[in-house]
Amino acid sequence: MTSDKDNIRQFAKRHRDQIQVGADWDAQIADNFLQAIPSSEESIISVYYPISSEVDIAPLVEKLWARGQTVCLPVIQGKAQPLLFTEWRRATLMTKGQMGIMEPVERHYVDPDIVVVPLLAFDQQGNRIGYGQGHYDATLADLRARKHVWAVGAAYAEQAVLLALPREPHDQKLDFVVTEQRVFDFRG
């Protein structure tokens, strides 16, 4: 199964890299997120610092900060290990962490209520293909064992696939995927 996922991963990465992103798509994703994802003022929302051709969640982060939400970023612990989350504010000093991804220098760890997840592709059942490191699957399994948490994929509509993606026992499903066109709700 891993070789199937690796092939899909490589194809999906090439496809995402070639998407001609519209000027307002990232802002539309932010608006769709705020309109559709259940949250409260107390909700802690984990986002990600985008790399490569991932959805730029900066418009979402700005709107969350403007609303006074607690926003946090993941800190990588190791392959297939649960991520830790540390608060991220506008004035937070940043540094490159593992895999060259930006992380806050000063750490104030929190447990998010909503985890925004980057992805390469997603299907109509809430399965996703990521980079294959297992960070988000381990994290969601860990968080879901301790509390209720929403897993929200951030993607462009062109990243949707019609056929079911391969799924292994450790893979964690998404509750939602937010695109520039619509919100997919998989809570079913």
pLDDT of the residue at 79: 76
> Is the overall model pTM greater than 0.85, yes or no?
yes
Give the whole-angstrom CA distance, residue 85 versus residue 156: 25
pLDDT of residue 1 exceeding 90, the answer is no
Compute the distance between CA of residue 83 and CA of residue 116 in angstroms, rounded to an integer.
Answer: 13
Candidates 3.90.650.10, 3.20.20.140, 3.40.50.10420, 3.40.50.300; correct CATH number of 2-185? Answer: 3.40.50.10420
pLDDT at position 139 over 90:
yes
Q: How many CB atoms lie within 10 A of CB 122?
A: 25
Q: Is the pLDDT of residue 134 over 90?
A: no
Looking at residue 125, its pLDDT comes to: 97
Mean of pLDDT values over 112-136: 95
Please state the domain extents for the chain: 2-185
Condensed to tens digits (0 to 9), the pLDDT of residues 63-110 reads 999 999 999 999 998 777 899 999 999 999 999 988 889 999 999 999
Residue linked to tokens 């990243």: 159
